[in-house]
Structure formats: C-alpha cells, structure tokens
Amino acid sequence: MREKELIVYRNFEDGKLLEKMSYLMSNYDDASLGKGDLRNLMYECLHELIEEAGNYGFHGNLWHTYLTNLLVNNENSYSCGCEIKGEITGTINRAALHDIEIFKELFNFDFTPVMETLNVPDFALALDYEASTRESKVYNTRICGRICDLSKGLAGAKDAVSMKAVLTQFYKDYGVGKFGLHKSFRITHDEDGVHIVPILNIAHVKLDDLVGYESAKKKLKNNTESFVMGLKANNCLLYGDAGTGKSSCIKAIANEYYERGLRIIEVYKHQFQDLNEVIAQIKKRNYKFIIYMDDLSFEDFEIEYKYLKAIIEGDLEKRPANVLIYATSNRRHLIKETVSDNENANSDLHSQDTIQEKLSLAYRFGVTIYFGSPDKKQFAEIVKALAARNGILLPEEDLIAEAGKWELSHGGLSGRTATQFIDYLLGAHMST
C-alpha cells in the first residue's frame, strides 16, 4: 500500500493503526515473513478496530469508518481551506486528489485473501459490525451518524474524483477536525501548552424553548445573526438575576447556529492569561467563534479582568473578525465596587480613576442585555407553558397553587425555579 506517499494527508493523530494495516495488506503473502507474526498482527488490528468502534460508536465496515475518521479529522491546507467555503482553487487540488486516490485503494482493498492466507476468518467481524448500545466516549450520536454515513458515501464513490467531491462537500457542510464536528469547547493548559478541547454533550435547548424574555432573546439573536453573516457585531454581556436563562440562551445559540459555522469556547477567569493563545489557534479558521464566560464577576482584589480588557479592546493586536466575547453575570458592572470607593472619590482626585477602571470593563461590551426575575404573573405563565410542553395535565388552578408553594421554598421567582418545579412534577408522576 502507498500510505507513505501521501502528500497533504499526513501526521494523523490516530495513524498507528493505518501503518499496521498497510504493512499487513502489503506483506500478508510474503513467504519470508513469519506467518504466525502476521496472524498475530491481524488479530491486533482487529482488536484496535473494535475498540475504536466502542470509543466512537462506529458501526458497519469498521475499516472504512476508521479511514473516514482520519479524513474528517486531518486539518491540512486542503481540508481547512474547504471548511464552510467549499472547494478551493489552485495546485492543492491536484495534491489532494493524489492522496484521495491512495485512500480509494485503501477503501477498495479486498480482505478475503488476507483472511484466508493467515487463517483469520474472525476479521470479518470488523467488516460488518453492529454497534453496541453503550454511549460513545468521543462522539455523540449525531456526529457518529454523520461519519458512518460519510463512510458509506466514500466507499460507494466510483472513482477518486467522485470520492474527493463527497469529502469536500462534507468539509463545506460540517467542517474539519474538532471544530467541524463539535459545537462547544473548553480550554486546558498543561506542560505542552494551551489546548481547545471539545465538550461532548451540550443541552439541546433552543431559544424558543425559553419562555419569556422575548425582547432580550431578539437582541441576542440579532447580534449573533449579524456575526454569523460576517457583518459588524458586538461583544455581548447578559446580566441580571440568577436563574433567568442567561446561560441557557448561550447554549441555545450554540445549537441554533452550529450548522452555519458558529462555535462556542467556554473560558473561566483563571484562564484569561491563555486568551491570546486561544485566539491565535482560531483566528485563521473559517468558523465564527464566541468566547463564552459564564457567571463573570470579580472581587476588587482580583486582577484577571485586566487580561480580558486587553483582549476585548486595547491590545496592540486587533481582535480577529471571527471572534466575539459573550459573558453572563449577575452584576452589571462585573467588578465589585465598595463603599470606600465612593467615599474616597469625594476626598481624593485619583480615586475616581479607580472607579473608572472598574467600570470600564463592562463598557467594553457593545451590547448589554438585562434578564430580570419574573413577577408572579410572568412566573405563572412560564409554569403553564412548561407544563403544557411536558404534557402535565393538572388543573390550572392547582398547578399555579403548587408552583407558588414550590417557589417559596426553592429560590423564589425565576425560570430556573419553574423548570425545577416541572421536573419535580414529572418525577413524582413517573414514580407513582
């Protein structure tokens, strides 16, 4: 096999198995090699294919799904150029086609002679594999399904040109690598540097699922829509009372705009010093990125906000056009102000600088959206809407009365309290 002749598609993260399989496919009938060793190698490869199926949730022809997974995760000049935008022009197309011809050979390889020569009929298990019901450790059902479907499309392509077209369309529709496959991410920092790591499962909430706050949701959606369309958009601060749906709104836009190339990266304030490195890793990609900071606030002795201020506005390097910052907070001004700040302002001219320093962070968010606690009437409307959505058939009078009792001892009037009350009713119903 010609895997060492690949030009564009190289340096696979999970490429060891490809090397073993290629060696096996090229040398299975070489009489000078020990048949026992080759047989053991084939069983080793079978084990790794089945383990990958368990980790990723793959099914069908596991050799094909393995190769497909390599192709959709390899971030190279061709795949990254095609993500979201579609096929690119230039000589890179010929280099990519050269590599796809090699992959076509790998896809079309007939393992029957290998199984017969090495007496390993069990390898057939990997060629028509039924997935277990165990949840994937790496991909959710949606991603796994897309890769398995792509695998069938690549295998069914009549030639390398058609195969390249199928793969390129996938890059355009879904992107490449972790940013193409996943909606949301967090960052980690170890001895090797800063890493952007996928969050495997995100709540499938949509903006329409959130009852009330229509004006706030519209403001958030309009800003996000402009951003995704490549128009001017602002950093956004969602602030207000606890439990009013600020964080849920961010999850909702991650779900609603994923297909249009929006990705969310969650960052905690102790990681702000890594923001420059995070932006360096994403600024040249064809996606739109929202750096998301949940429950953002600072005590007066914390200085991490200075990193954030520099990133939002004021650093020497201009913030990339494909990056915005969205934050949620219970505080409008983010940084705690003390009584002494105001007392000193009356006696010390320079203390006004301290106050302005603390206020300036919030002012750097071009869009601010307020989420206030509902009054009793609004709370009742939220409860009724959630009850109807979940098929709860209690008489309205009883429903509202019980919800009133619940909120008194469970955090007061908020959308979160209403949701918890409905979950309680659903749990109580299921247990009876």
**Stretch 365-369: mean pLDDT, rounded?**
88
Indicate the DSSP class of residue 250. H
Residue 209's pLDDT is what?
80
Residue % of the chain over a pLDDT of 90: 48
The tokens of 282 are what?
């994403």
Among 181-185, 270-274, 391-395, top mean pLDDT goes to 181-185
pLDDT at 256 over 50: yes
Instruction: Specify the CATH architecture of the domain 198-371.
Output: 3-Layer(aba) Sandwich (3.40)
Of all residues in the chain, the percent with pLDDT exceeding 70 is: 86
pLDDT > 80? residue 343: no
pLDDT digits 0-9 by tens, 82-118? 988 888 889 999 999 999 999 999 999 999 999 999 9
Average pLDDT of the chain, as a whole number: 86
- In this prediction, residues 171-189 reach a mean pLDDT of 92
pLDDT at 432 over 50: no
The per-residue b/e assignment along 219-241, b for 16 or more CB within 10 angstroms, e otherwise, is: bbbebbeebbeeeebbbbbbbbb
Q: Domain residue spans in the chain?
A: 3-181, 198-371, 376-430
Least confident of 39-43, 53-57, 90-94: 53-57
Q: Kindly state the tokens that stand for 206.
A: 């949509």
Lowest mean pLDDT among 35-39, 54-58, 283-287, 311-315: 311-315
d(CA 12, CA 50): 19
Residues 6 or more apart whose Cβ sits within 8 Å of residue 225: none
Radius of gyration of the chain (CA): 27
